[in-house]
Structure 1
């Protein structure tokens, strides 16, 4: 902003060199008007309502004097600089020296209209592109009575780097001082600058005082990094670092590493498994071509990398003590593919980290998998369609049996439109072949006591027939869409070796339900789903009603699979029902119901309603699930979640809660009280969460700790936000 001011003032030189005197109200771009203009020797005087215009900027002042010989200008009285109707800068007196490229201001006020940040000072001057001021006040609030402001003894602004530096800053809320900062420096533009970021501060009941100080380093435009050392007074110390690099194609590569050392007392007290918690993560994605760099080429390729290694679940919470870890397994992925219009080849690697495992050595890893896919195409006749899919997977682990899986899938089908495309009829066949080669299987166990083989094969040839209909009709006030599908499929030929015998599937299910030791136990379900290769009839009906604006007034889907292999297992699959409605703008209601006729019980049910309108954001949801083991029905999940936030204008009140009906207890919950004004915001959060930690106890590898916490967060516009939290064990 000051740079713009200096450039605008520089336009005075050519304007004042004109020999003619401009009349009042003859304002034009790049010209000056005043009530009175006169020349006396080398000096030009402008008096009364002086206005200088340049582009969309203009200066207004009572009086102005310019000396052509010394190239100095003096502006007397209240001088103001505008961009359009927005005030950028005002000062009581301005002195400009164009020979030295310097100026001096007194009682100065300047403002950034993009951020709302303003500065007032008793005096200011410039030297070599750096502007200095004394006894200043900075804020982003209304100048009359700012909610927050900084009083500084001095400061400077470097127009070349757009960096504002403040000394001896005292922060005020209203008229109450609450923070002293001896030195503060930040960028006034929305660009990357090296320096200290706002620290993270908290007090944790089990870990003591927590302080993390991020250090941002941005030496060049295409890469930067953040280093964040931290201390936890009652637990340990550590750091996290992240390196980011933008490629010429604007793809982003990031590398992150973290480390935390647990003090001996903390490690013994909580029986933590790892005194040294560490890990790293790589992320990179490109869809513009890693090898093929020609957008017009018929071939395309892409690359995706998200690889993580960690030795403890606490790695995910090193730089965020409040991080909620809800997944039992963390998955690292590396994928590369290239494709044409007809063909696709992909290479995939997946590494699974199981937080419940003591050493992760028994966890299966996919290293690697290769896939070839022939996209759906016609075969000699446009209605005769086929595709090919071939995959080879190396499923390996450090301890226990491993195997290489090869599979080929060849679907072939015919589809005929009937009755003017209102109905479509299709028939087809699927040929599926799976081959498994075992290695590292010295002590491998097969369910039912059957001897283990080194290879196993499974082949099925399946038939399918379907009738589908998709009809839409537009009425005056709504659109009605109705869809119907009926499909029958099943095997007409099947071959399997002993490792995929039906008896092994049943024996594995019995050992699994009996809670027996399943280490190194062959699991045929993980390779071939036996249930998917049975004769099945499936019917689905869908109804949709839309407003002219596209809002779903009401929809309902119902589907049912029938097992045609056995009359007793005819309804082994549950009937699925989905219903939803958005009766008014902002309200959405969704529900599902999976009902098992075989067990005469609900398998799964959920309902969720969300409302977002009139400053209200709320949701309520319920989830229920049963697990059927033999003839027993076990409730696996039964909980209610609720959230509500209402903005009352002066403040907002919100909260969320999860209630577990199985344990009859409240799980995670938060209550938030916040207020946001244009330039300032503060929020208070009270809550409870469940935190899993890995221990060295064999009988309890994962321990769940319940934490209550209080967090306060301040938002100072446009400087950013800072907060602190206090956590204590329940």
Structure 2
């Protein structure tokens, strides 16, 4: 800071040169003002100071070439190279100033004013100084360098409120360097970065279909424990609306927020876009509390998490801001509460889903399955008679409900008993367990004769595992090997099982897992490797997918990854992914190729997923890269290429220039995505192409222009 350096030198020299001056008691006025200079004289109540003047007061620290100060009236007049610090935030430079230290009223001509918190400065021909405001004439404002700023705003008159930290400009002209860009009759922005009531940075935008977009957030902070944010918006071709968020803190370990909003479509836009609803509204309630009862009871831990969502259609999310876009089919609300004490855990969970697609088609959510509620009890692993004989209990009761179609109430319990010991001087660890699982389902609203389902089984599990580590001359190797063998024993199944019922079924199987890591002499991880193979006794195919995951860290910047799944059932690769990642101070890139066959299955020790993860195989190449090689510039690109369809699903390229006082970015995007709309057309594929331009002036805010076009195609389900 040049101003701070100047003040430091001035204060140092002023202190030295003040020693020869005749300092009298009259130099300290009624406002506790002290004047230091090379030459100080006093006639009555008037003090005259010349050369390296330094003036102290409770509010100001001032340096100047010459000063006249009347101790009776508080009038101060300064001449030449005046630097004034007001508090810790504001500094100014001027050639001539008149100021009354009792009233803080005065004038300066010319004036250079600087706000240290935001780097905003104002330069004007003359200014009127008041206790709370500076009124300026023929001024320039910017946050860039004072010499040849990248951007500036020239205005005929303005007012800066030091209390509210708002700067009001009249007849402003925006300049890029010295080129005028546009004119406004009035413009205002805040330089305040503290939490307080006022206007937040607005959002601007322009789209080919929705027209000009403007949102002006209003922040209201009446107390330290809660605030309100209102976000009125307008889209000239589409409609108007408002969203609001109430945030609160009700204890040292809990907080929450409530968001709601409403957007009304113009009738011609709703008709053109074939929207089913001409208005969109919704509600979101979030509450998180880490301690509810634990403050009153010892040895108790509990927590509550609430996330409630309601909307009339998915376009409620898509109109919350210019950047919000949601294609989710399900909107989920959850309530989770748990209590944990010693060896016991109790949980209550609830889930409510809104199927936006079904609601758009039928106007009702009656057939969407809900979980209201699920009760959960778990007893943690504990010794039984012997220290190495362990058991645990897990019980769940789930109520699956909906207004139409099948409902169910499911009870299920899982109890494993495990005997643990080690052999071969602790090199080999052994776990033998007996596992009991049972489930009962009672149905409602069912048209079939089967109104219940019963299932129980027990199985034996034997696990052998070892952990080894060995240092070598140039590297360090760790290895974990586990062999699991599951033997189903008794099993009984009767009744009806709906497609939404989950059972902990399994087959007789053996699995082998290998995990290993290699470290160099400096302790840096170089290679990580995982290998998993399943063998099944009771299936037509004996071997499950062989899964191999390998990562090689060349150095801190570069790494290679390869994830491979081989289907022994079909004798072909079911999934293959190769990735390369690089990142340093100047360059960052990620290249990934993924192939997944329709036969790919997720195999685990406890459950075999029979259904394929996709209906058909796919092959994708994704790329992201950016560079900061050019000073102040970040150039980036991304590609998502469908190899099978031989088409780009999305691609984009652009750049962003970042300077001290502003940044701007330009990018071209071409994206094809599924979209769940509120129109009667249902699920569509939307292709969006266009250029987005965004620039941000610190601390005024950002403006974006989206020059794009959209085309929709019906997806065949």
Aligned with 1:316: secondary structure? helix
Name 1:309's counterpart in structure 2: 310
**CA contact 1:639–1:658 (8 Å) conserved in 2:** yes
Name 2:626's counterpart in structure 1: 645
Q: Which runs of 5+ in 1 are unaligned?
A: 24-29, 445-451, 501-521
Q: CA deviation at 1:31?
A: 7.4
Aligned with 1:292: secondary structure? coil
> Quick check: 1:558 aligned with 2:540?
no
Q: Which runs of 5+ in 2 are unaligned?
A: 25-32, 601-609, 712-717
* Distance in 2 between residues matched to 1:236 and 1:75, nearest whole Å: 56
Name 1:369's counterpart in structure 2: 374
* Distance in 2 between residues matched to 1:436 and 1:341, nearest whole Å: 31
**CA contact 2:89–2:115 (8 Å) conserved in 1:** no
* Distance in 2 between residues matched to 1:330 and 1:662, nearest whole Å: 32
* Distance in 2 between residues matched to 1:109 and 1:226, nearest whole Å: 35
* Distance in 1 between residues matched to 2:166 and 2:266, nearest whole Å: 41
Q: Tell me the TM-score normalized by structure 2.
A: 0.86
**Residue 53 to residue 196, structure 1, CA distance change in 2 (3 Å):** closer
Q: CA deviation at 1:351?
A: 1.6
Q: CA deviation at 1:250?
A: 6.3
* Distance in 1 between residues matched to 2:678 and 2:89, nearest whole Å: 61
Aligned with 2:299: secondary structure? coil
> Quick check: 1:332 aligned with 2:338?
no
**Residue 550 to residue 219, structure 1, CA distance change in 2 (3 Å):** farther
Name the stretch that deviates more: 367-376 or 688-697.
Answer: 688-697
* Distance in 2 between residues matched to 1:342 and 1:87, nearest whole Å: 60
> Quick check: 1:74 aligned with 2:77?
yes
Name 1:657's counterpart in structure 2: 639
**CA contact 1:194–1:219 (8 Å) conserved in 2:** no
> Quick check: 1:543 aligned with 2:543?
no
> Quick check: 1:589 aligned with 2:563?
no
Name 1:569's counterpart in structure 2: 541
* Distance in 2 between residues matched to 1:161 and 1:628, nearest whole Å: 64
Name 1:432's counterpart in structure 2: 437
**CA contact 2:53–2:66 (8 Å) conserved in 1:** yes
**CA contact 1:240–1:318 (8 Å) conserved in 2:** no
Name the stretch that deviates more: 84-93 or 639-648.
Answer: 84-93
**CA contact 2:357–2:676 (8 Å) conserved in 1:** no
**CA contact 2:203–2:701 (8 Å) conserved in 1:** no
Name the stretch that deviates more: 153-162 or 457-466.
Answer: 153-162
Name 2:503's counterpart in structure 1: 528
Aligned with 2:496: secondary structure? helix
Name 1:292's counterpart in structure 2: 294
Q: CA deviation at 1:245?
A: 2.3
Equivalences for residues 316-395 of structure 1 within 5 A: 316-325=317-326, 327-357=328-358, 358=361, 359-395=364-400
- Which of 607, 616, 627 aligns to 2:587? It is 616
Q: CA deviation at 1:541?
A: 0.7
**CA contact 1:136–1:152 (8 Å) conserved in 2:** yes
**CA contact 1:602–1:626 (8 Å) conserved in 2:** yes
> Quick check: 1:694 aligned with 2:694?
no
> Quick check: 1:129 aligned with 2:132?
yes
* Distance in 2 between residues matched to 1:714 and 1:382, nearest whole Å: 66
**Residue 82 to residue 226, structure 1, CA distance change in 2 (3 Å):** closer
Name 1:503's counterpart in structure 2: none
Name the stretch that deviates more: 544-553 or 555-564.
Answer: 544-553
**CA contact 1:258–1:318 (8 Å) conserved in 2:** no
* Distance in 2 between residues matched to 1:233 and 1:154, nearest whole Å: 31
CA-based RMSD of the aligned residues comes to 3.4
Name 1:50's counterpart in structure 2: 53
* Distance in 2 between residues matched to 1:215 and 1:605, nearest whole Å: 50
**CA contact 1:187–1:193 (8 Å) conserved in 2:** no
Q: CA deviation at 1:211?
A: 4.1
* Distance in 1 between residues matched to 2:611 and 2:435, nearest whole Å: 34
Q: CA deviation at 1:84?
A: 13
* Distance in 2 between residues matched to 1:555 and 1:598, nearest whole Å: 27
**CA contact 2:576–2:596 (8 Å) conserved in 1:** yes
1:692-721 Cα offsets, whole Å, 9 max, x none, are 143665xx6311221112211011123232
1:161-201 Cα offsets, whole Å, 9 max, x none, are 33333333322111122233403141433333322641332
> Quick check: 1:488 aligned with 2:488?
no
* Distance in 1 between residues matched to 2:253 and 2:494, nearest whole Å: 51
* Distance in 1 between residues matched to 2:222 and 2:90, nearest whole Å: 34
**CA contact 1:80–1:87 (8 Å) conserved in 2:** no
> Quick check: 1:708 aligned with 2:689?
yes
**Residue 426 to residue 388, structure 1, CA distance change in 2 (3 Å):** same
**Residue 34 to residue 265, structure 1, CA distance change in 2 (3 Å):** closer
Q: CA deviation at 1:575?
A: 1.0
* Distance in 2 between residues matched to 1:86 and 1:197, nearest whole Å: 21
Q: CA deviation at 1:228?
A: 3.2
**Residue 539 to residue 671, structure 1, CA distance change in 2 (3 Å):** same
* Distance in 2 between residues matched to 1:650 and 1:34, nearest whole Å: 45
Q: CA deviation at 1:476?
A: 6.0
* Distance in 1 between residues matched to 2:580 and 2:59, nearest whole Å: 51
* Distance in 2 between residues matched to 1:354 and 1:197, nearest whole Å: 35
